[in-house]
A and B are shown apart, each in its own frame.
Chain A
């Protein structure tokens, strides 16, 4: 049998296992088409809020001297309603809609606005590390996680993913609360709260001072989290954090992820990175005798 890189994350089926992570380029349908044509298995939108957000002033993104990126874009987005109108014509591209909010009603309101859109899944951003009252502040509150996931699951039949990150509480509690509340899959992890100071001007570079670290430096951390989650829970996982090569992707499969997301690698290598990783995975599968991604998922735990 010929190997195939198609994968399923629970009920979510994808032709290719490498997705565009939230926050990256996810703003226009024309760009989504281009990313899909470049080999992305699905595109995750920017995290959308109930009303448009401008985000923070620049500097919002720059590279760290040792590698990786720090950003505090501040979740700038056109708002769920504007965004839903823009993607309404879409039929072909698997779009995962990322949502950010503070209370269950925020999420319910937004999901209703996507009624006429073809949505592959919703991804709840419970882990943005640099905006008050949303993201990690929600993810760190088990009561709120439970209320939001339960209400979203009651609002839609579309699969719902929770994106978790490293906050002030044990992220595994967020994972277990989300699973108990009916979540369909987990994306792990988000950027890691970080900062950089310019020594010449003696001040933080980001206008928001704090941001999130992404890219190669956080890959071993993200991999550890995926391995931990898959060791403790029976839940489909999407690995995210510092993936830039096929080897990185395969590492995440072996740790227990059924698919991966990337973003920073586009800043380093542009959008050809999707196809490059897809080809590398396929070549690895041929070499090792795997015919499906599923056969690889979690294999490292058995060794």
Chain B
């Protein structure tokens, strides 16, 4: 029978990479997930634990994909702890993807928000001039810096890390760098994924200068297909209309940057 993309397909974890003390990448083989577009996600079932929306990470090996997870609550910790040989279920891919422009590109990622940015880097042309900004709390939590440099080996590029405490790279929030860079340089496009406030400020910096900008939003999700309504952001469904939205559209959305919904669907402040 043909694979039903909305039904969990079981895959086995083949490799676990420790990225930082709290972040791991779990690699698996699959027919579909290695070829998804940047911004697309899967619903990942950790049997006995929960099911989570996860951006699909690239793997250097053909026919393989991965999930990069930070242990935070019980569910993400459950995924973090899946060992080599462990089984998880995957549904999807779901959602739209980044509109990959050409020219001078700025990619901004915070934490596991770097996952869709790494996949986006596999879609850039060798003629593009690419700047990647990596935001982290401290030196311990920096990851994917080498990977970004490797993926851009044939491009004019720079990878800049900023840490909130200044223990590595530039000191301060990555959004200060976004403001500085968009002020100095005209980028053809800006892409961002990370904590909502980071995305909100990045969208503001770019949109106010008429630079094309897109953000990949994160919300609590149940179905992934636009029926449960858990992930609604104003009139938009993050799973179905997104996860990627244009800054132009987001600047008119009353909830983006301010509210998300809890499990009961009640709006809560960020």
Q: Which of B215-270 contact A (CB under 8 A)?
A: 222-223, 225-230, 232, 234-235, 237, 240, 261-266
Is A191's CB within 8 Å of the partner chain B? no
Is B189's CB within 8 Å of the partner chain A? no
By CB atoms of chain A within 10 A, which of B10, B87, B89, B263 has the most? B263
- Chain B residues near A31 (CB-CB < 8 A): 229, 232, 235, 237
Is A26's CB within 8 Å of the partner chain B? yes
Q: How many inter-chain residue pairs (CB < 8 Å) link A and B? A: 123
Given contacts A61-B223, A65-B4, A203-B48, contact A53 B264 (CB under 8 A): yes
Q: A203 contacts which of B47, B234, B240, B265 (Cβ < 8 Å)?
A: B47
The reply to whether A267 and B225 form a contact with Cβ atoms under 8 Å apart is yes
The reply to whether A24 and B229 form a contact with Cβ atoms under 8 Å apart is yes
How many residues from A make CB contacts under 8 Å with B? 43
Per the bound structure, the CA–CA distance linking A264 and B228 in Å amounts to: 10
- Chain B residues near A26 (CB-CB < 8 A): 229
Per the bound structure, the CA–CA distance linking A64 and B7 in Å amounts to: 6
Q: Nearest chain A CB to B225's CB is how many angstroms away?
A: 4
- Chain A residues near B45 (CB-CB < 8 A): 58-59, 205
- Chain B residues near A216 (CB-CB < 8 A): none
Q: A270 contacts which of B234, B240, B266 (Cβ < 8 Å)?
A: B240
How many residues from B make CB contacts under 8 Å with A? 36
Given contacts A65-B7, A198-B10, A263-B227, contact A59 B51 (CB under 8 A): yes
Is A57's CB within 8 Å of the partner chain B? yes
Given contacts A31-B235, A59-B51, A61-B227, contact A205 B263 (CB under 8 A): no
Given contacts A25-B229, A28-B234, contact A201 B265 (CB under 8 A): no
Residue of A nearest to B74 (CB): A57
The reply to whether B47 and A267 form a contact with Cβ atoms under 8 Å apart is no
Contact with B along A126-150 (1 / 0, CB 8 A): 0000000000000000000000000
Question: 9 interchain pairs (CB within 8 A)?
Answer: A25-B228, A26-B229, A30-B235, A58-B43, A58-B52, A60-B51, A69-B6, A198-B10, A205-B8
Q: A28-B234, A55-B263, A61-B222 are in contact. List 20 more A-B contacts (CB 8 A).
A: A27-B265, A57-B75, A58-B43, A58-B50, A62-B7, A62-B8, A76-B264, A76-B265, A77-B264, A78-B264, A198-B10, A200-B10, A201-B10, A203-B48, A205-B8, A205-B89, A207-B50, A266-B227, A267-B223, A267-B225
Residues on B close to A: CB < 8 A? 1, 4, 6-8, 10, 43, 45, 47-48, 50-52, 75, 87, 89, 91, 222-223, 225-230, 232, 234-235, 237, 240, 261-266
